[in-house]
Structures are given as structure tokens and as C-alpha cells.
């Protein structure tokens, strides 16, 4: 492995694990088919949890682990992703 900046062979490779919070999005088709009646029904039958959800501002989020391999040149400090 060579550094693309200074052509040094003194390159350190490390795997970085980053946690990305992803919003769970509903598609347009979901809203057209289900969302318009499901949401009112959900509110009628699950008013209390729905209110609690609204109060605490709960958002459906999904933690996604993203593994990235990053090379760091020990000579010039240049870093790049593979």
C-alpha cells in the first residue's frame, strides 16, 4: 500500500466502526395505501401511547453500523478511505 500523496509505504490501515442514526421513512406508496387510514385508527386505538410518543418526541430511528476502512499515511498524515 502506497500513499497517493507522498508515495510513502509507511501506511497504517484501520477499520473504523461508525454508528449512523437513520430515520425510518415511509414511502409515498405506504401513505397512499395504508397511512391515510392507519394513522387515524392507530390514534383511536392507541391514543395514550401515541400521546406519550408525541410528548417525548419519539422518532423511529435505527442505529446502523457502518464499517469503514481508513488508511492513514504515517509519513505525511494523509488519510483516505478504501
The residues binding Zn ion (CB under 5 A) are: 3, 5-6, 8, 73, 75-76, 78
**Residue 9 CB, nearest distance to Zn ion (Å)?**
10
The C-alpha cell that represents 20 in the structure block: 449512523
**Residue 12 CB, nearest distance to Zn ion (Å)?**
11
**Residue 31 CB, nearest distance to Zn ion (Å)?**
50
Q: Phi then psi for 13, rounded to 5 degrees?
A: -105, 130
- The alpha carbon of residue 44 and the mean position of all alpha carbons in its chain are separated, in whole angstroms, by 32
**Which residue's CB is nearer to Zn ion, number 7 or number 61?**
7
Q: Which residue has the cell 509505504?
A: 9
Amino acid at each position: 500500500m502506497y500513499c497517493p500523496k507522498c508515495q510513502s509505504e509507511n501506511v497504517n490501515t484501520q477499520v473504523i466502526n461508525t454508528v449512523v442514526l437513520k430515520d425510518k421513512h415511509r414511502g409515498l406508496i405506504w401513505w397512499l395505501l395504508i397511512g391515510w387510514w392507519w394513522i387515524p385508527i392507530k390514534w383511536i386505538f392507541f391514543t395514550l401511547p401515541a400521546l406519550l410518543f408525541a410528548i417525548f418526541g419519539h422518532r423511529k430511528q435505527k442505529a446502523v453500523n457502518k464499517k469503514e476502512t481508513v488508511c492513514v499515511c504515517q509519513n505525511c498524515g494523509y488519510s483516505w478511505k478504501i
